[in-house]
Structure 1
Amino acid sequence: MGDAPKLSVCIVTYERPEFLRRCLRSLADGLDAGSEIVVVDASTADRRGIADEAGRPVVYVHAPQLAGWMTRSRNEALRHVHGEIVSFLDDDVVLRPGWESALLAAFDDPIVAAVSGRTCNGAAGEEQYAKPIGRLLGDGSLTDGFASLPAGPVEVDHGIGANMSFRRSVLAELGGFRDDYPGTALREDTDIFLRIRAIGGRAIFAPDAAVDHLPAPHVRGARFDTRYKLYGRRNHMVLLARDGGIRSPLLRRWVGGQFRAIGRAGGFAARVRRFGVTLVGVAWGYAAVLRSARWHPLPPRRDDALGRELRGLLGAPAEGVAS
């Protein structure tokens, strides 16, 4: 048994073997030898061979039963981590030099519970962002800016799932991720950041902990297609209702804003399409809210069987990794 690693890096993947291979090569080159890598692969085929090619030890978990549930794969990864800091990276990113050192430096501040790193998309001008980075606004909308380059770390309300990290102790207290954001899994990352905020934790955006996001195609559908937009509305409403309760003014304002935005669509046909997507998405969202939220904000700590299991696993003293 060796010493416990400072950092565990988790990759959840599904039917994207070449992107996983590229990501693991990046981790092998960019991480210190003592850091841990955990892969949870929901693909039909067992691709342990890709992990074996990485050039360093990788904990590979083949879990095809988790296909279509990203946060269930994240929770599965939590069963296998040993580090004090637990990071999640998408399988279609590669590390920029200095990612690990910048990330760990951000956690040197003991009150920092979560860190969102910079996720670069190669878009012109993305270094500049006019709005506050990573904020939940008074109209219920979220700002991003996670590709921007501020002068230093910035306090945020939420982060980006492609490059996010947490103290193990905080994940233990929360009992892991809420794993019922279906479809595109949109807002599952925001959910855990808002839960951290609810227990008094501080989250920051660390621009020097940077990755390049080289997007893989969606296995089902495409980004911003109708399916994506419907799941986006549904999951965003559940997020706001869980954070603020079904009577949340942010939820009410956000829904109103969605209908007001219909008039800004260009042309009659576009407005009709947006009206249909908004109506269906909001109706679906309210049905989901009634099932999965309450009048008052939900407790941030999971207290179901899985939450208790993960709390026990993560709350135990960090164990050594078999050599």
Structure 2
Amino acid sequence: MAETVPLSVCIVTYERRDFLRRCLQALDAAVTDDVEIVVVDASAADAADLVRQVRPSAVYVHDRLVAGWMTRARNAALRHARGEIISFLDDDVVVSPGWQHAVLDAFADPAVVAVAGRTRNGQPGEETYDLPVGRLLPDGSLTEGFASVTASIVDIDHGIGANMSFRRALLARLGGFRDDYPGTAMREDTDIYLRVRRLGGKAVFSPDAVVDHLPAPHVKGRRFDTRYKLYARRNHMVLLARDGGIRSESLRRWIAREYAAVGDAPGLFRKVRRWGVTTAGIAWGSTAMLRQARWSPLPPERTDAAGNEIRAALS
């Protein structure tokens, strides 16, 4: 294996050339020369020249086979990353000065194996969040708060994919990301953090590891459109079934919560529409979890051929 470096930063991108350039320019200005940058690009056109104009030392991987599959692109990056710490950034974020130091400082605690950084969205009042940041609740719902400012580093159950970092040894043990969360890839980031928790690993939120999320448009559809909501429900059910088993109480409570929320929609038409989307999403999720989960929780480590290949590449 090639000699490791202290930190690799991986960016996966798909048909968002201008956003990739902006992300790389901010990242290059914010990190030291010994930080490795890995770009996995599923776009039709090769962007190697763009990447190396900004960061000549960057590793550029052009792979059309991962188009539409964010976690497969993340796993492709793992096959090339040499960092002892491996970070992932979305291509539509802008890294703030001090991000690198804050990430590595969070890992100074040897018990910490995963770090979620603060991801600002430019929304009024987002600095304050009344619930605990990044928790999986007993009813199967998730708290967020990843744009908030906490007094210090805090423990979390799950993090945000736009700004997350892991120890290389942990990713090797897990066998990389589960790469079968389709569509909008909702919950692929939550999945790996919950697998960390299943191993007994410590994940934390660092309010000083800051990026600004300046959202790019989706290649297909729009954020929060019907397609997005269907995939959100489908993928969330698979997530809960894998973490707690198909017969888990949190999964049943989450389904009940989703139907209870139908009544919150204003007006009869919107109630009927929300009921339809909820029912379709839960039906789709039920079919998917029967294929992708078991009655009992799945082991956190991947043991399939692709997982073993990633494990070997990282080991």
1:37 is paired with a residue of what secondary structure?
A: strand
In 1: Cα distance, 2:145 partner to 2:200 partner: 23
User: Does residue 311 of structure 1 match 2:311?
Assistant: yes
* Superposition RMSD in Å: 1.0
In 2: Cα distance, 1:63 partner to 1:307 partner: 19
In 1: Cα distance, 2:233 partner to 2:183 partner: 12
- Say if 1:99 and 1:211, in contact at 8 Å, map to a contact too: yes
User: Does residue 280 of structure 1 match 2:280?
Assistant: yes
Shift of 1:3: 5.7
Shift of 1:27: 1.3
Shift of 1:56: 3.6
1:94-109 equivalences in 2 (<5 Å)? 94-109=94-109
Shift of 1:59: 0.3
CA deviations 1:2-36 (Å, max 9, x no partner) are: 96310000000000000000011011101111000
Name the structure 2 match of 1:125.
125
In 1: Cα distance, 2:251 partner to 2:128 partner: 29
CA deviations 1:174-222 (Å, max 9, x no partner) are: 0000000000000000000000000110000000000011111111101
User: Does residue 62 of structure 1 match 2:36?
Assistant: no
Q: TM-score, normalised by structure 2?
A: 0.99
Shift of 1:55: 3.7
- Say if 1:12 and 1:91, in contact at 8 Å, map to a contact too: yes
Going from structure 1 to structure 2, the CA distance change for 1:28 and 1:274 (only over 3 Å counts) comes to same
CA deviations 1:87-132 (Å, max 9, x no partner) are: 0000000111100001000000000010000000111100000111
Name the structure 1 match of 2:16.
16
- Say if 1:240 and 1:251, in contact at 8 Å, map to a contact too: yes
Q: TM-score, normalised by structure 1?
A: 0.96
In 1: Cα distance, 2:54 partner to 2:201 partner: 35
2:206 is paired with a residue of what secondary structure?
A: strand
Shift of 1:45: 0.9
2:236 is paired with a residue of what secondary structure?
A: helix
In 2: Cα distance, 1:135 partner to 1:314 partner: 29
User: Does residue 267 of structure 1 match 2:261?
Assistant: no
Q: Which runs of 4+ in 1 moved over 6 A?
A: none
1:84 is paired with a residue of what secondary structure?
A: strand
In 1: Cα distance, 2:3 partner to 2:60 partner: 20
2:54 is paired with a residue of what secondary structure?
A: coil
Name the structure 2 match of 1:138.
138
- Say if 1:28 and 1:56, in contact at 8 Å, map to a contact too: no
Name the structure 2 match of 1:170.
170
In 2: Cα distance, 1:116 partner to 1:55 partner: 25
Name the structure 2 match of 1:321.
none
CA deviations 1:27-84 (Å, max 9, x no partner) are: 1101111000000000011111111211441100001111110000000000000010
In 2: Cα distance, 1:245 partner to 1:138 partner: 14
- Say if 2:246 and 2:295, in contact at 8 Å, map to a contact too: yes
Q: Gaps (5+ residues) in structure 1?
A: 316-323
Name the structure 1 match of 2:190.
190
Name the structure 2 match of 1:154.
154
1:303 is paired with a residue of what secondary structure?
A: coil
